[in-house]
Amino acid sequence: MKSDQIKIEKISFKILLVGNKERFYHLKQFADQLEKKGIQVKLIYDVDFLQKFFDTNFLKKINKNKSFTKILEEFCPNVVLLDRITEIGKKVIEKNVPLWILLRGNIWEETMWAKKTTNNSIKQRLSFQKNEKLIEYCFTNSDLILPISHYLEDIVKEKYPKKKIRFFPADGRTPEEWNNIETNELKHPCVGLIQGLNIWGKTRELITLKKILEKLPDVTFYLAGDGKYSQKIIPELTKFDNFVWLKNLEYPQEIKKLFSEIDIFLSLSGLEGLGQTIIEALLMKKPVIATKIGGIPELIINNQTGLLVKQGDSEKIIENILKLLKDTEFAKNIAETGYDKIQKTYSWKKLAEEFEKILKTQ
């Protein structure tokens, strides 16, 4: 099924899009836009065809392998587009089907942090070794790598200089869906944060919030998100009366409610491939303050689409929060400019057009 030149024709081109449940909502919108262009897309959950590490139920593994093989044989995709690295990538390569990888984050740095901060048991060491080998195997044998930011593009070019690599910012949204929801539940002035707490290299930046909470007692900070490092971070923050932990909010409705009411969105991250919550904040026309790391500067142009700060610079964050709360015209202008940028660049309709161009040139 592999070929050096992939030819795309209306209706006949088929993509098997493999994603996890966390991103399924957005991948479905991407698939719908591709379908409108005559590209057939079959979207599946990767977990439906994966076996847990050290699972000894071999019959279950055989059945899952058969199920995935059946999909390949019946759907007969021209390309399998993998949204994250799993054993499915290896299965696709072994079946001699072209594999394209969406690179959403610096998985090498994420793995480094996982190894540093996870219980170093024999089982964990074996799991890391297996995962690192899988990552190397999939990237080495893939037909195309699609980093979602130029930051990730530079990293993957350095690691795999001979591979085919095309920048593709696959963190799209449907702008029309991101409208304000009328609510009156928060205490103002307020700042909102939305962040998972599962990668320490990313989560640890929230420690900076302690100094900010202390020096801005009249501003309330609302954090939505949870994860395995919550107990390492949250108890330190809940000591302050102006901090509220919302845990995980239902997506997208409750997240939209939070965006609708906050005065400022603050992204305190130590590790970011691009910044999907920033994209959403800008679509909701909220002024954004974000750490200058990873792919975030591709979304936030300082003083134009938002405000950038160095990691750990609590004083600058405080200064920027006070500036946005005081100068509402400036806050509105950067939010509007940010909205225009995201709407033009990160809508699924626009990204489907860009993806079609990639198909035609491979």
Please state, in angstroms and rounded to a whole number, the distance separating the CA atoms of residues 30 and 167.
16
Distance of CA 58 to the CA centre of its chain: 33
Find, among 106, 95, 108, the residue nearest to 16 by Cα.
Answer: 95
Find residue 291's DSSP bridge partners. Answer: 309
Split at pLDDT 50, 70, 90, the class of 352 is very high
Average confidence (pLDDT) over 329-338: 98
171-197: pLDDT as tens digits: 999 999 999 998 889 999 999 999 999
Q: Which CATH architecture has domain 14-172+347-361?
A: 3-Layer(aba) Sandwich (3.40)
The CATH fold of domain 175-345: Rossmann fold (3.40.50)
Assign residue 55 a region: left if phi > 0, alpha if psi is -120 to 50, beta otherwise?
A: beta
Residue/partner pairs of 27-35 with CB below 8 Å, 24 or more apart: 27/83, 29/172, 29/173, 29/174, 29/348, 30/170, 30/172, 30/348, 30/351, 30/352, 32/348, 33/348, 33/349, 33/351, 33/352, 34/352, 34/355, 34/356
> What secondary structure letter does DSSP report for 249?
P
Split at pLDDT 50, 70, 90, the class of 11 is very low
At 6, list the tokens.
Answer: 């992939």
Q: Output the average pLDDT for the chain.
A: 92
Query: In sequence order, what E strands does the chain have?
Result: 14-19, 40-45, 79-82, 99-103, 144-147, 190-194, 220-224, 243-247, 264-267, 288-291, 307-309
Find residue 160's DSSP bridge partners. Answer: none
Alpha carbon of 351 to those of 22, 33, 67, 184, 204: distances in Å? 20, 9, 31, 35, 32
CATH 3.40.50.2000 residue ranges for the chain: 14-172+347-361, 175-345
Please state, in angstroms and rounded to a whole number, the distance separating the CA atoms of residues 46 and 67.
12
Q: Mark out the alpha helices in 142-228 (DSSP H runs).
A: 150-159, 200-203, 209-215
Rounded (10°) CA dihedral 15, 18, 267, 119: -150
69-101: pLDDT as tens digits: 999 999 999 999 999 999 999 999 999 999 999
Share of the chain above pLDDT 70, in %: 94
